[in-house]
Chain A
Amino acid sequence: MSRSASHMESLTVLLLCGLFLFFAAGAALVGSGVYRHTARQARQTSALRTASAYLSQQARQCRETGGFADVGALEGQPALLLRDGEYVTYLYCHEGYLRELLTEWGTQLPPSAGTALYPLDSLALQRLDDNLLEASLQGPDVSARVRLRCANTPGEVGP
């Protein structure tokens, strides 16, 4: 075998190894990109479902037990107030979490006393109608508006 033919074969082998590495790196890059995108979408979908299901369920439970809901505040933090008899549940956002605080009506507690439920940056509430509220949720994985039907006696709730 001549010297140049031997060089050609070595070069071809190197080229094949290069191709192998190129395809391996390409597949790893594309795969990790698609995986990251899919995982982010799954997180967002789960966050939207969890947050909206939680708020809807709380509002429904309050309505069905004869309670009423309103937009209020807990030490300056916008809060959804669900009042049922002597007790009131505050749902609000504090220190990066959606929190829930169940307390006796008229008792003053700090926002940090609530149970942290879910990572959330902000919760804005708005009354759209006599018995319809809208909650706007903004969080690391969620950006959503949830409408909540609720029984209400205007002026009776809210500190």
Chain B
Amino acid sequence: MSARRHLFTELIISLVFFLLCTAVCLCLLARAHDLSERSRRLTQAVSLAQNAAQTYEAQPSPQLLSQLLGAQPDESGQLQCHYDEQARLCGEGEGVYRLTLSAPDGAAAQIDVWYGAQRLYQLTLSPKEETP
């Protein structure tokens, strides 16, 4: 009777200990998943900002720039474009990434990439030098 009871108690303790270990491992995996997702978003954001920067460097004229980026200027003169989860250009409603480019005359241009309300990446470009 006593041996059986000991076995029974031992099993319960082992199960509880195993469940605790499993919970810790699952928390670690969930954290790894979250970090990987954040890393993917940041990589997409950097890629979008680099593409916008290359476009700006190649064609700083606002009209052509907005055409090349597929962007719409907002009320403050900032160019804005939206991208879906795969970083493809899309409409405002379907977009998860939002890229804004502000280029005040003679000042450094600034590119921001947002994911919802969170700013993922910011890139400041030095003012373009006039070629003689």
Contact = CB atoms under 8 A, between A and B. Distances in A.
Interface of A: 1, 9, 12-13, 16-17, 19-20, 23-24, 27, 30-31, 34-35, 37-38, 41-42, 44-45, 48-49, 52, 56, 128-129, 131-132, 143-149
B18 A20 contact: yes
Contacts, number: 92
B51 A41 contact: no
Nearest to B29: A34
The number of chain B residues touching the other chain, given as a range, is: 35 or more
A135 B3 CA distance: 73
Nearest to A16: B11
A44 B47 CA distance: 13
B58 A13 contact: no
B84 to A, nearest CB: 12
Contacts of B50: 52, 56, 146-147
Given A44-B40, A48-B44, A147-B50, 10 more contacts: A13-B7, A13-B8, A16-B8, A16-B12, A27-B22, A27-B26, A48-B43, A146-B50, A147-B55, A149-B58
Interface stretch (B31-39, B90-98, B99-107): B31-39
A12 B19 CA distance: 18
Interface of B: 1, 4, 7-8, 11-12, 14-15, 18-19, 22, 25-26, 29-30, 32-33, 36-37, 39-40, 43-44, 47, 50-51, 54-55, 57-59, 64, 68, 86-87
A41 B39 contact: yes
Contact of A132 (B11, B47, B68): B68
B22 to A, nearest CB: 4
A45 B47 contact: no
